[in-house]
Amino acid sequence: MPADAKINETPKAEDAKVQGIPVMTFDKVMHDFGAISIGEKKSTAYNFTNTGTVDLEIEIVTSCHCTTLDYSTTPVKPGESDVINIIFDSSSKTEDEEIVITIVLKNEYPENGYPIVEEVKYRYHLISE
């Protein structure tokens, strides 16, 4: 990553060839659940492909307490795909929100040792019944 790049800047596939890093290329980075009732549970999946040049290894995936996460820590080889499944439970919510899911890789940027961090998001609109 160039010295003037942001720490959380998502690596691009063309950069991976130069740097020898994995790249998570998602089928979507935002999911909109639309209108949901308080107490309703919804699920979605974030499919990704490693478009980088080395194995991709997830350290941890985190989000708020309203989000249940299911993911593998098995290395994803270049060109292979995997998925992060989520279940959103709106029971504790009182207003519309955009939720961030943070993905921290075991992989690091070679020039500075910072872990590679990705983000995907989802949003919803609460309705009264």
Sequence spans of domains, the chain: 13-127
pLDDT category at 16 given cuts 50, 70, 90 is low
Report the distance separating Cα 106 and Cα 79, nearest Å: 18
Report the distance separating Cα 54 and Cα 33, nearest Å: 34
Cβ burial, residue 122 (10 Å; 0-12/13-18/19+): buried
**The pTM of the whole model exceeds 0.75:** yes
User: Is the CATH code 3.30.428.10 the one for domain 13-127?
Assistant: no
Q: What is the predicted pLDDT for the residue at 15?
A: 57
Give the residue from 73, 72, 80 showing the smallest Cα distance to 54.
80
Q: What is the predicted pLDDT for the residue at 11?
A: 60
pLDDT category at 105 given cuts 50, 70, 90 is very high
